[in-house]
Amino acid sequence: MITVLMPAYNAAAYIKEAVDSVLSQSYKDFELLIINDGSTDETPSILDSYHDHRVRVVHQANIKLIKTLNKGLVLARGKWIARFDADDICYPNRLEMQIKFLQEHPDHILVGSDADYLDEEGNYLFTFKNNLYSDDEIKATEFRTCPVIHSSVMYLKDAVVKAGAYNELAISFEDHLLWLDLARLGKLANLPIPLIKVRFNPSSVTMDAKWRGREFNDIKERSIKKGFITDEDAARIKSILLKQDVKKYQQASYNSLIAKKYLWNQSDKTKARRHLRKAISAFPYKSEPYLLYLLSFLPEKVIKLLYKKVKNIK
């Protein structure tokens, strides 16, 4: 059996679509374990409206994401765990394709996938292709970048427990460290097809790394290199996030990120500028939105050339 593990915090705007996408899976042997982490919006009542025997809802006081994930590992009944976020959407064949791969490749303990990305309102932004599909390709990177999308993965529960579960000190890159630990226990892979839709929204824990700042990224990089995070670095991470995870900063980071996707991936300058104006209005102290706004007036060919240069694409 598979446990679909879904933490939820103030996800009322999206969670019904997320839950329904799991219940509509072509593969039927699963439980959907939803842990409501002290939501203060309508999330609890939406979850309690489901009377499907496959849905298990646990309500708790807020303990934050990482502790909730580790609690989910303890509560999960399945041999395999499919991670999923409360604002994302599963394609109907997600579980079927992933469990089929894992059953046919018993030396693998984790499989992720590509993903289609959406904005807050559910508008398509771009398709993310991992370009790291085999275990050899993933391990060749030495985990300098995160090799799998967290909400796309299906992994062996016992392997994750043996690896030490999610590191509660590595806030915002707990998954990245876990994949590094798992790689020592078995093979990892990604399927070259989008199996989920990932939604960017201002309250998401996902934030553009550039907006986190140099100190944050330096700590993350050296923690990945060492395979663990020190208490001192963990304290600094907490301090940095405490200053950044405020509404205006999150809103500006979100709009700047969405603007880049419209600029780079869709060549829609009008939508890019609209989001950049929102970013500047929310938090006018970052240079990136201003630079991107000016960039948006260049010819499309020049913009694409600059993008390829920045991303080192030939």
| Pair (176, 303) in one structural domain | no
Can you state the percent helix, strand and coil of the chain, rounding each to 5?
A: 45, 20, 35
State the average pLDDT over residues 194-202.
Answer: 94
- Predicted local confidence at residue 312, as pLDDT: 63
| Pair (130, 231) in one structural domain | no
Percent of the chain whose pLDDT exceeds 90: 86
CA distance 157 to 81: 6
DSSP assignment letter at 150: G
- Predicted local confidence at residue 311, as pLDDT: 65
Looking at residue 187, its amino acid is K
State the average pLDDT over residues 146-156.
Answer: 97
pLDDT in tens, 1-23: 999 999 999 999 999 999 999 99
Of 164, 199, 234, at which residue does a domain stop? 199
Assigned domain for 32 exists: yes
| Pair (163, 28) in one structural domain | yes
Give the count of domains, the chain: 2
pLDDT in tens, 168-195: 999 999 999 999 999 999 999 999 999 9
Weakest mean pLDDT among 10-24, 77-91, 149-163, 249-263: 249-263
Q: Is the pLDDT of residue 314 over 60?
A: no
**Phi/psi class of residue 164: alpha, beta or left (left: φ > 0; alpha: ψ in -120 to 50)?**
left
Is 91 in a helix, a strand, or coil? coil
Band of pLDDT at residue 313, cut at 50, 70 and 90: low
Assigned domain for 23 exists: yes
| Pair (166, 57) in one structural domain | yes
Quick one: tokens of 144?
């300098």
Domain of residue 170, CATH code = 3.90.550.10
Assigned domain for 231 exists: yes
| Pair (220, 99) in one structural domain | no
| Pair (113, 172) in one structural domain | yes
pTM value is 0.92
Cβ-based neighbours of 116, under 8 Å, separated by 6 or more: 124, 126, 127, 128, 194, 196, 197, 198
| Pair (148, 218) in one structural domain | no
State the average pLDDT over residues 87-102.
Answer: 98
Q: Is the pLDDT of residue 198 over 90?
A: yes
Weakest mean pLDDT among 85-94, 170-179, 195-204: 195-204
Assigned domain for 271 exists: yes
Question: How many CB atoms are located within 10 Å of the residue 127 CB?
Answer: 13
Assigned domain for 242 exists: yes
- Predicted local confidence at residue 227, as pLDDT: 93
Q: Do residues 259 and 289 lie in contact, with contact meaning Cβ atoms separated by under 8 Å? A: yes
Q: Is the pLDDT of residue 29 over 60?
A: yes
| Pair (132, 268) in one structural domain | no
Q: Is the pLDDT of residue 44 over 70?
A: yes
Of 168, 199, 230, at which residue does a domain stop? 199
Assigned domain for 69 exists: yes
| Pair (223, 292) in one structural domain | yes
- Predicted local confidence at residue 304, as pLDDT: 81
Of 165, 199, 233, at which residue does a domain stop? 199
Residue 99 belongs to domain spanning: 2-199
pLDDT in tens, 240-292: 988 887 889 999 999 999 999 999 888 899 999 999 999 999 999 999 999 99
Q: What is the mean pLDDT of the chain?
A: 94
| Pair (37, 115) in one structural domain | yes
| Pair (141, 253) in one structural domain | no
Percent of the chain whose pLDDT exceeds 70: 98
- Predicted local confidence at residue 196, as pLDDT: 98
Assigned domain for 30 exists: yes
Assigned domain for 204 exists: no
| Pair (231, 177) in one structural domain | no
State the average pLDDT over residues 282-305.
Answer: 90
